[in-house]
Chains A and B, each alone.
Chain A
Amino acid sequence: MTIRDRLLIFVGLGLAIAADLFLIWGPTLASVGLSTTDWDGISAINVVGAENYHDLAAEYPPFWSAVTNNLLWLAFLGLVATPLGLLFAVLLDRRLRFSRVYQSALYTPVVLSLAVVGFIAQLVYSSDYGVLNAVTGLTTDWLGDPSLNIWVVMVAAAWRHIGYVMIIYLAGLKAVDPSLKEAAAIDGANEAQAFFRVVFPTLRPINVIVLVITVIEALRAFDIVYAINKGRNGLELLSVLVTENIVGEASRIGFGSAIATVLLVISLGFIVTYLTQLFREPR
């Protein structure tokens, strides 16, 4: 390798590493550091130790609602939306008339921004003018009732998530050797049995990626509740609490960073698990 080659690698890769360290990992570590201070973004920084974490857990009611909601969101996407996406993929993985039409319809929500999804949800769920109450004749306050709203918002999120999962599984299924499926069918196994015994195990890498997408989407969920009611009154999520405390006029940066750190720890748990899985496999 010539000096020019080495220089090129150094610069090219150096830029990539620098961007990653300065813009992603540096600020992430700084968040952890700030979480032990009472900084308001303007005055001097005082270190207060674990006080923010104590206040968070003991005296900030939205925190626990947010933790519960994030877990609920994860469970709903993982146990309801993702299996539905798989079901659609399996159903569509055959020669069908209008297959492209079905796929497009199911998949279109994925290209919409979540902010738009949040807006559309209001047209459907509004208690006085929304379509859902008009159709069912109910007068339910779908978005205002704190014990209900998280569910209907998760349905809206699933509207988008299912298409996403479907398309990934569909691609995975296309890659499965057709003779495998046929062999299973000839054996007399019914379709469901054939699928779970023969096809599903070969989808393992897809399952892993879908799981990651599901977890990440659940932890990143933000725009949709922010668009609906700024993530309050039953729609609290960790990401929203961070934003509300540090991004808004409030500027409780130390406190908000503590929430961010909690979110980071949860995310890293999943990320590390996933990556060790991924990189242990022979490449």
Chain B
Amino acid sequence: MEKRFWNEYQKDIADDHFFYERSCIRQTFFPGSEAAFLRILREELGKDICDNPHQHTCTGIGYHSDVVPLETTMTVVARLFSLMSECGYENYVPSCVTSFGVFSEVIEKWEHNPQLLEQTRQFLWEATKREFKIPKNIAHPSDVIFKFRFDLKPKMKYQLVNRFTGKPLRVVEHIGCHYAKIFPEKGIGKAEFPYVLAGMIEAWGGEVIDYPERRHCCGFGFRQYLVQENRGYSIANTKKKFQSMEPYEPDFILTNCPGCSMFLDKWQYTIAEMEHKTYDKNGFGIPVLTYEELAGLLLGYDPWKLGFQLHQVQSEPLFDKIGIAYNPDEKYKGISGRLLQRPARPECLRQE
């Protein structure tokens, strides 16, 4: 009985031959994470993954800001599925958690309302003369890394262990709301006990921190951040999470949603500048990592090719705890090898 119950918290994740859909927000703020995911799939795991040049936004941010109607989003999603069908793939992997939620919602609507599916097919044909198949499997890339976490482990050069104390690093995980709150059955561990990131942390030697506001939204809120006048909503919600996690002294925060990664990083800077408050003991802030950055870092990839220099909260104290080898002289060099002028230093958030 117990075993059957737990099966409800599992999900099917394809084994190979993925169609990758890029994320507006991840490309904007964490392009190195998307590159790392493709590299891990292809070079470490030997998987086939298609990066199609004809893809575009799923409109998810516009849909949840209510500037794009449902029928339009459905048909844009159908065009993305048609690209997948055209290339002969059946397993769809959207980089963005909002996209993952949008695809799950669109497919559910089609299942509940077959006339909507037919209408979408007609709209797509009328607009583009395209046809599409619904994917056989949709998984978020964090699901894919979770599935192969034990295959990656022996390839890793580092573990989530504090080299000075020998103890596991203590990690806060933050799951994007649209990963499992809308469709709990689509997420590993459902909405209340999501295990997708916790599974990676535990497999790679770390310890997961449970804290009161673990499931609270990062505060994005779509129009609540996108309109400048509304941003108090966004930072207030993120602050609530920081206050809740602070007593547990996390070594870093791990996320699977690109928006959450950005907000949890950038709002620490803003709060520090506004209130002279940081949520670690030393004034550096708590580093925030995407799961691709974490996997890449432990596999020994160059942190400056993963994009750690774009984080406002600096990660060097974390690198030093793990023992990650890095060259500080390379941090501010561009692709040409030229040393770029260093960014300005925040007044309150310590940098080094």
- Chains A and B come from one and the same complex: no
The residues of B with any CB-CB pair to A shorter than 8 Å are: none
Residues of A within 8 A of B (CB): none
